[in-house]
Amino acid sequence: MSDCIFCKIVKGEIPSTKIFENETVIGFKDLRPQAKIHQLFIHKSHTKDINDLAKNDPKELSDVFNAIRTYTMNEGLEKGGFRVVTNLGPNAGQTVFHTHFHVLAGEPLGHFGS
């Protein structure tokens, strides 16, 4: 999509602080961190949300989660724990409509769910 900020990051049209990249996925620092470590992971191909991604090409979902696994293991984040979050739609807080996953870590995170 020509007006998608994350697609522009993939193309190198907008700078980002990349923390991970392979042939299908990019990870970069969130500009408005909600934790000491707050990274975003996106597939290089555009889908609007997790349902769109899972419906169109479920392999892309595993591409992203394998990238998150590689990054968190390389950084030792599994020792202290981390959270992976995605939002679907404006009511859930989605502001960029390119499927993305937040990886939060580096400090105690508030209790969420059970």
Give the residues of the chain that fall short of pLDDT 70: 1, 112-114
Q: Quick one: what percent of the chain has pLDDT higher than 90?
A: 86
Concatenated DSSP letters for 16-51? --EEEE-SSEEEEE-SS-SSSEEEEEEESS--SSHH
Selecting among 38, 43, 98, 100, the annotated active-site residue is 100
The structural domains of the chain, ordered by start, are: 5-80+95-105 (3.30.428.10)
List strands edge to edge, sheet with 18-21.
18-21, 25-29, 37-43, 100-105, 82-85
C-alpha torsion 51→107→17→77, nearest 10:
-70
111 belongs to the catalytic site: no
Q: How many residues does the chain have?
A: 114
Res 114: pLDDT = 56
